């Protein structure tokens, strides 16, 4: 019975599974350009898109203190944050077995308003670099007034789940003989050629952050 | 005072605005391949991605009756459905004015479980064709058993909101003199070349639905 799981291996396996899930949650949130924040106001659900960044065990998002969502973000408010990456459409022989390839992660937690300026700047740097890596070092940094005009919310990544759907077409046995096309159409987000602001100073070239982002998202600078 | 709004023009303007918003909500949900459904369970918010379709004034989504979300979808359950299309990243001269180009729509409503098989088939046809237009006429349609294994939820589109963010870079006056690149990086979802199922019968060609989808999403059939 050497192969039977002992309490120790069972625990180790559970830990491995938990570590694995956590890595997937991190990956999905790190790759996603936006997420959706869910919260309850007066008993009703709300779902708002936002940009975000992960710093270790904390997920941050931000906005204007005047926005509806952020007015409702009190310390301790229960929120759920979901990030979804759409990877493809699965066309089966039968309508019933059509599906999507996707990766989705959900974080369940409570809001914490970031009070310390130091942590707020770390969060803003991470959010800025999450959308456009390296941008923080290129752009003018927030002034004291701009910092005051920004509300940053933190959520500890402690309770979470992930779902990865990446299987091949799974049709009913009888259906494989049907002369119906089946397969997967891959989907991805692609960057177009950057459009310079019409007030850009002469001679200012495309920065590394934008060049690298466009390359990472399969675009070509200068393409239409 | 001929230009002063009368009660009638005020009402007409409000109606036009409402009609305009409704058209934008329809457009966003029709273009989005997935949406996120928010609901409250035991006081806590949940946010789940799903595919969907709009048929006139009703939004439909579906799934297995065994799924967590659908087990909680009782008639009258309050739900919020948000669809978000990410159109670009706005890189400003200042970190503070970085933003995204996006279109997002939210529908606030209550769940109605679709009981009549006739309406369920209309919904399934619409959902199937929303992901891959024309697919319903190519694939094997749901059997009685498959129909029984599918739960369809309807939400009346009566209360909704839309937000469209598509403005140029808006920097502070003083910042326009900075030699910092600013502009917009367009983003779009692009289809890759379809990958046929390894059990596809010899001689079965790519169907119109897939060809048209790939063309609509900027892909080229046969590209790597």
pLDDT score, position A171: 96
Q: ipTM for the complex?
A: 0.91
Encode chain A in three state secondary structure. CCCCCCHHHHHHHHHHHHHHHHHHHHHHHHHCCCEEEEEEECCEEEEEEECCEEECCEEEEEECCCCHHHHHCCCCCEEEEEEEEEEEEEECCEHHHCEEEEEEEEEEEECEECCCHHHHHHHHHHHHHHHCCCHHHCCECCCHHHHHCCEEEEEECCEEEEEEECCCCCCCHHHHHCCCCCEEEEEEEEECCCEECCCCCCCCCCCHHHHHHHHHCCCCCCCC
- For the cut 70, the answer to whether the pLDDT of residue A196 exceeds it is yes
Question: What is the residue whose two structure tokens read 């006739």?
Answer: B118
Question: How many contacts, defined by CB atoms under 8 Å, are there between A and B?
Answer: 291
User: Mean pLDDT score of chain A, rounded to an integer?
Assistant: 90
* Structure tokens, B75: 């008639």
Cα distances (Å, whole numbers) of residue A220 to A188, B100, B217 = 15, 20, 17
Contacts of B199 in chain A (CB under 8 A): 169, 176, 182
- Domain ranges for chain A: 7-185, 190-224
Give the distance from residue B163's alpha carbon to the nearest chain A alpha carbon, in angstroms: 11
pLDDT at residue A14, rounded to an integer: 67
pLDDT exceeds 60 at position A223: no
Query: Alpha helix locations (H) across B80-195?
Result: 117-131, 144-148
Architecture of the domain spanning A7-185: Roll (2.30)
Higher pLDDT, A85 or A7: A85
Q: Which of these, B87, B102, B89, B199, lies nearest to A133 by C-alpha position?
A: B89
Q: Which of A1-5, A33-37, B20-24 has the lowest mean pLDDT?
A: A1-5
Q: Is the pLDDT of residue A1 over 50?
A: no
Give the global pTM: 0.91
pLDDT in tens, A76-134: 899 999 999 999 999 999 999 999 999 999 999 999 999 999 999 999 999 999 999 99
Chain B residues near residue A210 by CB distance under 8 angstroms? 91, 181, 183, 185
Q: How confident is the model at residue A156 (pLDDT cuts 50, 70, 90)?
A: very high
Give B-chain residues touching A81 at CB under 8 angstroms. 47
B88: which chain A residues are within 8 Å (Cβ-Cβ)?
192
How close A33 comes to chain B (CA, Å)?
Answer: 9
Nearest CA to A126 among A48, A57, A217?
Answer: A57
Closest residue to B47, CB basis, from A80, A175, A217 = A80
Among residues B111, B107, B105, which one has the least CA distance to residue B41?
B111
Mean pLDDT in order along chain B per 10 residues (224 residues)? 51 69 96 97 93 98 81 87 97 96 96 95 97 96 91 96 93 96 97 96 96 89 56
């Amino acid at each position: 019975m050497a192969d039977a799981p002992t309490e120790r291996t069972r625990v180790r396996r559970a830990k491995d599974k938990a570590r694995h899930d956590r890595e997937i949650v991190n990956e999905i949130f790190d790759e996603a350009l936006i997420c959706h924040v869910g919260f309850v106001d007066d008993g009703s659900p709300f779902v708002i898109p936002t940009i975000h960044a992960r710093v270790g065990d904390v997920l941050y998002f931000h906005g204007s203190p005047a926005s509806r969502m952020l007015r409702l973000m009190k310390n301790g408010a229960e929120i759920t944050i979901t990030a979804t990456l759409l990877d493809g459409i699965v066309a089966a022989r039968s309508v019933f077995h059509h599906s999507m390839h996707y990766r989705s992660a959900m974080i369940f937690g409570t809001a914490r308003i970031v009070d310390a300026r130091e942590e707020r700047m770390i969060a803003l740097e991470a959010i800025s670099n999450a959308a456009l890596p390296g941008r923080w070092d290129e752009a003018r940094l927030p002034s004291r007034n701009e910092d005051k005009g920004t509300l940053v919310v933190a959520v500890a990544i402690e309770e979470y789940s992930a779902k990865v759907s990446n299987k091949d077409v799974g049709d009913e046995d009888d259906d494989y003989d049907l002369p119906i096309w089946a397969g997967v159409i891959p989907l991805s987000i692609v960057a177009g050629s950057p459009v310079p602001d019409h007030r850009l100073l002469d001679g200012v070239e495309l920065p590394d952050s934008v060049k690298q982002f466009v390359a990472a998202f399969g675009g070509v600078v200068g393409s239409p």
